[in-house]
Chain A
Amino acid sequence: MSTAGHEEAAANAPTAGEYIVHHLTHFNSTGHAQKDIIDFSILNVDTLVFSVLMGVLGLFVMWRVARSATSGVPGRMQAAVEIVLEMVNEQAKGIVHSAESRKAVGPLALTVFIWIFLMNSMDFLPLDVFPNIWQAIVGDHHAYLRVVPTADLNGTLGMSIGVLLVCIYYNIKIKGFGGWMHELFTAPFGSHPLLYPVNFAMQMIEFLAKTVSHGMRLFGNMYAGELVFMLIALMGAAWAGTATGVFLFAGHVLAGSIWAIFHIMIVALQAFIFMMLTLVYIGQAHEAH
């Protein structure tokens, strides 16, 4: 999010720490911050609503294009969607060599790219706009709301676990359950009874590392990006009361602009990286060791 609209924070005069903590707390099903690290009785409503919203928005636009897609001269919108689709399809062709699998993997990768791009793009909206609107609607100045679903570990890990499940599906589909089991115990070190546990442990670590790093990479980038916007917002917010504040205000505008422009690249890059890794992992599931 960019850094306009921190008046609310200034008016209530929370400390910098409070401001940030408040902005990093999800609007969840309990209505107050989650205490435990892992608690599966809680649902982050804001993450879900905004991710579904972004997914539906992206797919609706593409669906409308797809419905009226013509093989003749395409309109601008169709051309734009075609460019993205061709880009994804080209990448998929280079990584997943089974044409049959690509019929499912291509759309999956396209969904991932568009969806994550849109979710990441929520970061461009002014930092306090949605929280303030939400606080006005519910009439609670301390209501929590976070609008970037990919800055929530649940969101990104949910997707990376989805990719893991797809990988397991293709492992079994391509190699057969027995073949996959054989691979789990004999690769990467070789087929020897003494090496079976080592191989299996390595494979498990590999799957775990892939999935966790896949989700964490996106989450970390977006979370850090959001945090930097918050810090920039705080710098600007501090100007009101002080004589040297005008420099802080200038710093806010300058740093905010630079970071927002840089963030455009991060948003697109992270969406692309997540999509590419999805393809790479699924491609690996197709290859016997």
Chain B
Amino acid sequence: MNLNATLFAQLVVFFILAWFTMQFVWPPIVKALDERAKKIADGLAAAERGKQDLELATKRSTDALREGKEKAAELIANAEKRGAQLIEEAKLTAKVEADRIVTGAKAEIDQEAVRAKEQLREQVASLVVSGAEKILRREINAQAHADILATIKQDL
């Protein structure tokens, strides 16, 4: 329990040891600790960002999917409408065509009828003339009455 010069020696040793720690022990370890803390903080921030990105991407993909579905539905509806329209148009065209054909046929028939009538008239006229000739041969000169015969032929 006596005091002696050891006290001062210990004082010097104390400061030398503290200086050594200050210089060579403390800074590298604190640096490593700080760096690790930063790494962990960065990692956590990156994870958070990744989570947000994922959420965003999920939202975007559902949106895209919904949009695609809507578009597809619209396309199908359009196609159906267009199909119906085409059928409608085709029906119309066919009807017009049919009408045209029918009209043509009718016209031809009419023409044929007119022609047949004409022929018939000619034949009837000649028959009448020949009949009248036969009758009149006995009474009338054909040349003298030609203008009357022609008029009759005209009226037939």
Contact = CB atoms under 8 A, between A and B. Distances in A.
Interface string B1-15: 111111111110111
Contacts of B24: 63, 66-67
Contacts, number: 146
Given A55-B17, A161-B11, A69 B29 contact: yes
Given A38-B4, A107-B26, A155-B10, A69 B31 contact: yes
B25 A158 contact: no
Interface of B: 1-11, 13-15, 17-18, 20-22, 24-36, 39
Interface residues of A, number: 54
Contact of A36 (B2, B18, B25, B39): B2
Secondary structure call for the A interface: helix
A71 B32 contact: yes
Given A110-B25, A111-B21, A158-B11, A82 B33 contact: yes
A52 B25 contact: no
22 contacts: A48-B6, A51-B13, A55-B13, A59-B25, A65-B29, A66-B24, A66-B25, A72-B36, A72-B39, A78-B29, A106-B30, A107-B18, A107-B21, A107-B26, A110-B26, A111-B21, A153-B3, A157-B10, A158-B10, A159-B10, A161-B7, A162-B10
Interface of chain B: mostly helix, strand, loop or mixed: helix
A129 interface: no
Given A66-B28, A158-B14, A71 B3 contact: no
A51 B25 contact: no
Contact of A43 (B6, B11, B17): B6
Nearest to A108: B18
